[in-house]
């Protein structure tokens, strides 16, 4: 049995796009499911547009997503001699020919076809030049391209696409296409096939935007006497107005790196992306890696385009709300130790790590994360909305400040009173703090809510959050007392 070998061959001309990440994921899942291999090949033959920065970005993005590969990265430019050898082989076998037609000559024919409203295709002028004619033109130094000689026969050529079914074309409809430019450089169409043959690729899962190449590539496989791989062309990802997702139109949200920086959990993004264009056939949305590897199949890739429901609105995330809800799900349900590891770099970035976690504080750190994660959406929230747990320097949000503090002049005295009582507690725990706060409210004849909401705002800076008394435990007696005592400063604006 032949080995299952897949490849992810990005062109390093930009960041890792979420559409590219989805392609990589499908190939990775299929390889894993079938005990196969994933080959990473950087298609860098376009020297003008390929950059080192992009290569690095792609590698980093894949690593961040947890997509590992078995071979590579190979670089297409390392194999230029293979590409040239293949074109030579095709020329020698009379499966390709040199074409000396000039651009001007071709333009005249194209325009004539347009005028007659007939489909233009190369007319084969140079297809049967004699060896002498060719030698003559070459000696005269005339430039030429190499064209593939499409078999001169009736009937059709096709392949069975695992997603779209049988795709075919009439031989007669396919023009003799160029495989080597007049500069001597083989075209991408050919390089891609030559590399896939050398890398013994058995399955090609790629976007349907590449379908325009596939029939011609099948012809090349046949001509090079190599087995044609299994093709599966995936639907494109469009926005809710049916426009292709692009950086120009949608900005940074198309880049995987954006999600990393915004504090997404890699697997949450992967899970979301896999479901953009594939479905398990039931309502299940959340999968572990193993479950997804087990369930994934090419047959269940959707035939219709996927909708990335890009929405402006929440300024923090101009992205599909479903991506956020996937992240919330994982943020709230993953083992807290794993969350702890992922939150670390974000706290470090905010200079909060030492406060949060020093050896023996680990238990406190994890309990605190567990307490506050329920309302958070992304990992950055811990050092941002959750800052008050890790530092005494935090911002008090305007809305709760006005509503829960400034509106109640009395709190200026009441909260310091509460501070004194908390300080005096011999046992500072959930019950004693709650009793103390309620007793004070009764004595003062104010609603407990006024005291509790005021305390929440002063202690955390936030309007909402976990249970107040859990918060008091997480932040600790000393720091709570100091914050309550200091309430007057919030009125000085």
Residue number, 210 or 375, with CB nearest to ligand GLU: 210
Return d(Cα 118, Cα 450) in angstroms, integer.
81
Looking at beta carbons only, is 206 or 262 nearer to ligand GLU? Answer: 206
Q: How far is the CB of 215 from ligand GLU (least distance, A)?
A: 14
Q: Per CB under 6 A, which of residues 199..218 are in contact with ligand GLU?
A: 206, 210
Whether the CB-CB separation of 183 and 224 falls below 8 Å is answered with no
Mask: binding to ligand GLU, 14-43, rule CB under 6 A, as x and -?
-----------------------------x
CB of residue 303 to ligand GLU, shortest distance in Å: 19
Residues 38-67 that bind ligand GLU (CB under 6 A): 43
**d(Cα 242, Cα 411) in Å, to the nearest integer?**
54
Q: What angle do CA 209, 214, 220 make, to 5 degrees?
A: 150
- The residues, any chain, with a CB within 8 Å of residue 12's CB and separated by 6 or more, are 42, 43, 44, 50, 51, 54, 55, 58
Looking at the Cβ atoms of 87 and 214, the one nearer to ligand GLU is 214
Please say whether the beta carbons of 238 and 211 come within 8 A: no
Q: Which stretch binds ligand GLU (CB under 6 A): 4-12, 254-262, 318-326, 468-476?
A: 4-12
Q: Which residues contact 432 (CB under 8 A, 6 or more apart)?
A: 425
Listed residue (181, 179, 182) closest to 143, CA to CA: 182
DSSP 8-state assignment for residue 207? E
Taking residues 165 to 194 in sequence order and writing x for each that binds ligand GLU by CB under 6 A, - otherwise, the string is ---------------------------x--
Cβ atoms of 149 and 203 closer than 8 Å: no
Q: Which range binds ligand GLU by CB under 6 A, 7-15, 123-131, 232-240, 241-249?
A: 7-15
Residue number, 214 or 380, with CB nearest to ligand GLU = 214
Q: Which is nearer to ligand GLU, 27 or 462 (CB)?
A: 27
CB 131, min distance to ligand GLU, A: 35
DSSP letter at 301? Answer: B
In the complex, the smallest distance separating the C-beta of residue 173 from ligand GLU, rounded to whole angstroms, is: 22
Catalytic positions are 247
- Distance in Å, CB of 42 to ligand GLU, minimum: 9
C-beta of 26: minimal distance to ligand GLU in Å?
11
Q: Identify the bridge partners of residue 459 per DSSP, sorted by sequence position.
A: none
In the 8-state DSSP scheme, what is residue 183?
T
| For ligand GLU, the closer CB: 10 or 466 | 10
Q: What is the nearest approach in angstroms of ligand GLU to the Cβ of residue 188?
A: 8
Residues 6 or more apart whose Cβ sits within 8 Å of residue 197: 221, 224, 226
From the list 6-14, 155-163, 349-357, 385-393, the region that binds ligand GLU by CB under 6 A is 6-14
* Number of residues near ligand GLU (by CB under 6 A): 7
Instruction: Tell me the two tokens of residue 306.
Output: 């996927």
Residue 11 engages ligand GLU in binding (rule: CB under 6 A):
yes
Residue 462's φ and ψ, nearest 5 degrees, are -115, 155
First-to-last alpha carbon distance for the chain, in angstroms, is 76
- The verdict on 9 binding ligand GLU (CB under 6 A) reads yes
Angle of helix 266-275 relative to helix 52-65, nearest 10 degrees, comes to 90
Does 10 engage in binding with ligand GLU (CB under 6 A)?
Answer: yes
Token pair, residue 287, equals 């999968």
| 235 lies in the site for ligand GLU, by CB under 6 A | no
Here the tokens at position 6 are 């897949």
Q: Which is nearer to ligand GLU, 222 or 391 (CB)?
A: 222
Q: Pick the stretch among 5-13, 161-169, 339-347, 419-427 that binds ligand GLU (CB under 6 A).
A: 5-13
What 3-state class would DSSP assign to 96?
Answer: strand
Alpha-helical regions (H) of 204-320: 211-223, 247-250, 256-261, 266-275, 289-295
Examine residue 198 and tell whether it contacts ligand GLU (CB under 6 A): no
Contacts with ligand GLU, residue ranges (CB under 6 A): 9-11, 43, 192, 206, 210
């Amino acid at each position: 049995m032949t080995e299952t070998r897949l490849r992810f061959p990005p062109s390093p001309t930009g960041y890792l796009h979420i559409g590219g990440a989805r392609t990589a994921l499908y190939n990775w899942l299929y390889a894993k499911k079938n005990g196969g291999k994933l080959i990473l090949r950087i298609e860098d033959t376009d020297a003008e547009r390929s950059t080192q920065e992009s290569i690095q970005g792609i590698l980093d993005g894949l690593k961040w997503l947890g997509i590992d590969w078995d071979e590579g990265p190979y670089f297409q430019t390392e194999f230029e001699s293979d590409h040239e050898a293949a074109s030579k082989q095709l020329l020698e076998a009379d499966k390709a020919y040199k074409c000396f037609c000039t651009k001007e000559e071709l333009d005249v024919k194209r325009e004539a076809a347009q005028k007659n409203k007939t489909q233009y295709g190369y007319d084969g002028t140079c297809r049967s030049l004699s060896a002498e004619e060719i030698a003559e033109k070459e000696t005269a130094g005339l430039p030429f391209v190499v064209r593939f000689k499409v078999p001169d026969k009736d009937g059709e050529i096709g392949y069975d696409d695992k997603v779209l079914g049988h795709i075919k074309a009439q031989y007669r409809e396919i023009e003799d296409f160029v495989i080597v430019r007049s500069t001597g450089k083989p075209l991408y169409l050919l390089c891609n096939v030559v590399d896939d043959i050398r890398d013994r690729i058995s399955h090609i899962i790629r976007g349907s935007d590449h379908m325009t190449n596939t029939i011609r590539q099948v012809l090349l496989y046949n001509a090079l006497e190599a087995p044609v791989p299994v093709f599966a062309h995936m639907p494109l990802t469009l926005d809710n107005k049916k426009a292709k997702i692009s950086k120009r139109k949608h900005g940074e949200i198309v880049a995987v790196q954006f999600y990393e920086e915004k504090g997404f959990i890699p697997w949450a993004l992967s899970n979301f992306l896999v479901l953009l264009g594939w479905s398990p056939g039931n309502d299940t949305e959340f999968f572990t890696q193993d479950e997804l590897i087990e369930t994934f199949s090419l047959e269940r890739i959707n035939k219709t385009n996927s909708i990335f429901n890009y929405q402006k609105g929440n300024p923090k995330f101009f992205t599909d709300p479903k991506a956020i809800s996937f992240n919330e799900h994982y943020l709230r349900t993953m083992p807290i130790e794993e969350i702890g590891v992922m939150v670390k770099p974000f706290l470090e970035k905010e200079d909060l790590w030492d406060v949060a976690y020093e050896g023996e504080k680990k238990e406190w750190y994890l309990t605190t994360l567990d307490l506050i994660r329920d309302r958070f959406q992304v990992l950055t929230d811990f050092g941002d909305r959750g800052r008050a747990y890790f530092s005494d320097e935090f911002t008090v949000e305007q809305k709760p400040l006005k509503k829960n503090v400034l509106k109640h002049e009395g709190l200026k005295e009441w909260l310091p009173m509460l501070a004194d009582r908390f300080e005096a507690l011999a046992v500072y725990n959930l019950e004693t703090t709650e009793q103390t706060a309620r007793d004070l409210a009764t004595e003062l004849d104010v609603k407990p809510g006024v005291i509790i909401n005021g305390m929440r705002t002063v202690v955390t800076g936030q309007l909402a959050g976990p249970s107040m008394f859990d918060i008091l435990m997480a932040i600790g007696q000393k720091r709570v007392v100091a914050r309550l005592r200091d309430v007057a400063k919030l009125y000085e604006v």
